[in-house]
Structure 1
Amino acid sequence: MSQQLAPAPARQPLDEHAAESVRAYAADQRARVDVLASVLEDIAANGYPAPESGVPWETACDAHLARLADEQPRVA
């Protein structure tokens, strides 16, 4: 029995505005991954940070929620 790959589905092109939005999203995600990778590389090179140097979860959560509350409302 021969195994043949199914033909790739045709792609629908994006208009320029949609393509730019996708590129911006990709750049944002790439930046986030780069930050995570740098943190993991630092941990690999230097070990875990001391617990005393960290921020308690409750403090970080409250600060993040405050930042979200200060943002302008957006339509999904």
Structure 2
Amino acid sequence: MSQQPASAPVPARQPLDEHAAASVRAYAADQRAKVDVLASVLEDIAANGYPSPETGTPWETARDEHLARLAEEPPRVA
């Protein structure tokens, strides 16, 4: 539990420049799209049950395909 009182004042916010705000909005949209995909998969499982293992992709195959895609991308600086 927090030691702060419930009526603690909200600290002032620092505004973002236009480029930073656009980047944050793009990231939010990307994350929202990923969550929407996950939610649709979970809704499908709830409505129809788990998919048959024969129709799925083995995780090793998915891993190898993902690693191949990453290897094709240009290097990035952290």
State the TM-score, normalized to the length of structure 2.
Answer: 0.90
Q: Which residue of 1 aligns with 2:75?
A: 73
Aligned equivalents of 1:74, 1:65: Cα separation in 2: 15
Unaligned runs of 5+ in 1: none
Aligned equivalents of 1:40, 1:64: Cα separation in 2: 22
Question: Which amino acid counterpart does residue 37 of structure 2 have in structure 1?
Answer: V
Q: Which residue of 2 aligns with 1:64?
A: 66
Matched residues, number:
74
Question: How do 1:32-71 residues align onto structure 2 when only pairs under 5 Å count?
Answer: 32-71=34-73
Aligned equivalents of 1:39, 1:4: Cα separation in 2: 38
Q: Which residue of 2 aligns with 1:17?
A: 19
| Dislocated runs of 4+, deviation >4 Å | none
Unaligned runs of 5+ in 2: none
Aligned equivalents of 1:27, 1:36: Cα separation in 2: 14
State the TM-score, normalized to the length of structure 1.
Answer: 0.92
Quick one: percent identity of the two aligned structures?
A: 82
